[in-house]
Amino acid sequence: MFIAIMSSKPDSLQARARLKSAHDKYWEKFMSVLRLAGPMLGDDGEARMGQVLILDVSDRSKAEDIVTNDPFFAAGLFTDLVVRRFRVSVEAKAGL
């Protein structure tokens, strides 16, 4: 399993809106390996600071390939990408 962390480029909201449909369609084919995904936000709860994904794949190159072919990434909406092996050590139960 791998975690991917990306930082958003400033002033990318218009491009993000334009590519949202392609981004969503792209991730549909990876739902079987996507454990968690979502934006990192600023303290205001609105500003997009980046993205976090947890992918249940066996090697780093597969995780990097999946992430870098996302239309958001391919369009240059992120300034960097860090991919690290990840292990769940605590997982909250639903409804707690």
Each residue of 61-77: pLDDT tens digit? 999 999 999 999 999 99
Return the residue matching tokens 């991730």.
Answer: 27
Residue 67 maps to a domain: yes
Q: Say how many domains are in the chain.
A: 1
What residue ranges in the chain does DSSP mark as E strands? 2-8, 34-41, 48-55, 78-85
Residue 26 maps to a domain: yes
Residue 91 maps to a domain: no
Residue 93 maps to a domain: no
Measured between alpha carbons, how far is 53 from 40 in angstroms, rounded to an integer? Answer: 10
pLDDT at 46: 87
Phi, psi of 39 (to 5 degrees): -80, 150
Q: What is the CATH number of the domain that holds 50?
A: 3.30.70.1060
Asked if 56 and 35 touch (Cβ cutoff 8 Å), the reply is yes
Q: For residue 70, what are the domain limits? A: 2-85
Residue 90 maps to a domain: no
Question: What does the pLDDT look like over 16-31, one tens digit per residue?
Answer: 899 999 999 999 999 9
pLDDT band at 88 (very low <50, low <70, confident <90, very high): confident
Residue 34 maps to a domain: yes
Residue 42 maps to a domain: yes
pLDDT at 60: 96
Residue 92 maps to a domain: no
Mean pLDDT of the region 84-92:
89
Average pLDDT, the chain: 93
Predicted structure pTM score: 0.87
pLDDT at 68: 96
